[in-house]
Structure 1
Amino acid sequence: MNRQSGFSSIGMVMMLLVLGGVLLHGLDQHLRAQTPLLLNERDAIRAFNAALSAQAWGTTINWQPTGEWQCQTMQTEGWRACLKAGQKGDVLLAAQGISDSQPITLWRWGKQGATVTFSANGWIDSCPLSEPILCQLP
């Protein structure tokens, strides 16, 4: 009769445990490295959504456009919308979520008539004014 001591089985189990531990440690390090990127992405999405909400809110305000930036703030939501009259009856709306550490500003063209109306396709990715100083909101 063959007697087996079982040391090879125990050795194999120990090797699998060590290998599993090394793999879990590597995965933990990878996830820890990715966490700041995830948080940054989450903050960017929140800032964009706050600016989008501020822009939608800004289109509902009864504006009296002038050649200077006029701003209104909704403190409860942390939104700010600013409007400036341009040439030929154009108006420019800038909106951002002011509670964000790095707010995103969204821009939108509109027309001044009896009331201010905003074009459905008047969205702009960046400030369209010729001088950067003109794009600075108060």
Structure 2
Amino acid sequence: MNQAGNSTLGMVLMVLLMGGLTLQATRTRLAQDMVLVADEQHYHQDFWQAAGALQWGTVQHWPHSQGWQCQDWAAEKWRSCLLRMEGDNGLLQGHGTERELALWHWVSIQGNQLKPRAQGWIDYCPLADAALCQAATGI
């Protein structure tokens, strides 16, 4: 009779121990996943900041000048930069001023207006000289 009580008590302790280990493993995994969720959230914020800046840049008036020219919208913390190229071609870049992610779009320049090219959107700098791309972003 004494042995039956000890085995029951031993099983209860075993179940409690296994439950505690399971909870600890779940808590550790949850902490790791929270970091991944935060990273994903920051990426989405960066992406939409850059997409907004890129779209905003397409409706701005751009003066005729060589090299990169940038315009900032302080209220939204957006920056759009335009690189005029040969002919009526240009490369528009947009990013949030406090963000690292930048988006790019090939455009046609008609006077002071930009017309985004179909299939011209790209998520990395398409120029062969990476230093030229970094001059626009400042990052």
Class of the TM-score when normalised by the shorter of the 2 chains? 0.7 to 0.9
| Paired position in structure 2 for 1:120 | 118
Residues 66, 84 of structure 1: 8 Å contact kept:
no
For the residues of structure 1 that align with 2:131 and 2:101, how far apart are their CA atoms? Answer: 17
For the residues of structure 2 that align with 1:49 and 1:122, how far apart are their CA atoms? Answer: 18
| Paired position in structure 1 for 2:71 | 72
Q: Counterpart amino acid of 1:128?
A: P
SS in 2 for 1:127: coil
Q: TM-score if structure 1 supplies the norm length? A: 0.84
Q: TM-score if structure 2 supplies the norm length? A: 0.83
Bigger mean CA offset, 115-124 vs 2-11: 2-11
> What's the CA shift for 1:3?
10
Q: Counterpart amino acid of 1:82?
A: C
> What's the CA shift for 1:107?
0.6
Q: Which has the higher helix share?
A: 2
| Paired position in structure 2 for 1:30 | 29
Q: Counterpart amino acid of 2:109?
A: Q
For the residues of structure 1 that align with 2:3 and 2:44, how far apart are their CA atoms? Answer: 62
Stretches of structure 1 lacking an aligned partner (at least 5 in a row)? none
For the residues of structure 2 that align with 1:36 and 1:51, how far apart are their CA atoms? Answer: 23
Residues 65, 84 of structure 1: 8 Å contact kept:
no
For the residues of structure 1 that align with 2:131 and 2:98, how far apart are their CA atoms? Answer: 23
Residues 65, 83 of structure 1: 8 Å contact kept:
no
> What's the CA shift for 1:6?
4.5
For the residues of structure 2 that align with 1:22 and 1:49, how far apart are their CA atoms? Answer: 41
> What's the CA shift for 1:74?
1.1
For the residues of structure 1 that align with 2:101 and 2:65, how far apart are their CA atoms? Answer: 24
